[in-house]
Amino acid sequence: MASKILFLCTGNICRSPVAEAVARQMYGGIGLEFHSAGLDARQGLPASSDSAAYGRATGAGLDDHCSRPVSEDILTDTFWVIGMTRSHAAIFRSRFGSGYSGGIGVLGAPGVDLNRRTHSAEAEEVSDPYGGSVETYQAVCDQIRRLLAGWELYFKDPAARKEIEP
């Protein structure tokens, strides 16, 4: 059974690394691996300083994070790719959808599989804080933590993993 969740954003230095670190913190003991990547990421960059500061303040460390672009290799054994926005999910689907059979979702729409739909469902989106204030980063990171709580059933219950919404 597939055991990986991949969080996806643009550069893999702000939002998706926070989602990865917070998911590990929230769901680390359930036998899943949490990863992150970017649609337009450069390889090897650290998390943004404000995202890393949030990680340190909340115990969801990002100090060892290195950005990476999404690739076929990362998708092996991945059963959910979760974008921060509907646009992330749509771009991923256009680039990798034909060869990827897992769920494609948006963080703000728990369990809704866009890989099995003809249109994008309404979803709360996570805006890019890059270049914003410390308060903007804090609000985005808190939003990610709140939205991750909605995925609990899909991460913890193996039956729900198999029943990705048609």
Question: How many whole angstroms separate alpha carbon 70 and alpha carbon 93?
Answer: 12
CB atoms under 10 Å from CB of 73, counted, come to 7
CA nearest to 84, candidates 41, 36, 126, 47: 126
Higher pLDDT, 18 or 122: 18
pLDDT at 84 over 80: yes
Q: Which amino acid is at 141?
A: C
How buried is 19 (Cβ within 10 angstroms: 0-12 exposed, 13-18 middle, 19+ buried)?
buried
**Mean pLDDT in residue range 5-18:** 98
Long-range CB contact pairs, 120-123, < 8 A, 24+: 120/86, 120/89, 120/90, 123/86
pLDDT at 97: 83
Share of the chain above pLDDT 90, in %: 78
Higher pLDDT, 44 or 101: 44
136 band by pLDDT with thresholds 50, 70 and 90: very high
What's the CA gap between 61 and 20, in Å, rounded?
10
CATH 3.40.50.2300 fits 4-162, yes or no: yes
Whether 64 has a pLDDT exceeding 80, the answer reads yes
Spell out the alpha helix ranges (H) of 38-125. Answer: 49-58, 72-75, 86-96
62 contacts 21 by C-beta, under 8 angstroms: yes
User: What are 22-40's pLDDT values in tens digits?
Assistant: 999 999 999 999 999 999 9
Q: Is the pLDDT of residue 146 over 80?
A: yes
Question: What pLDDT, on the 0 to 100 scale, is given for residue 119?
Answer: 65
pLDDT exceeds 80 at position 120: no
pLDDT tens string 147-157: 999 999 999 88
Instruction: Compute the average pLDDT of residues 81-88.
Output: 96
Distance of CA 102 to the CA centre of its chain: 14
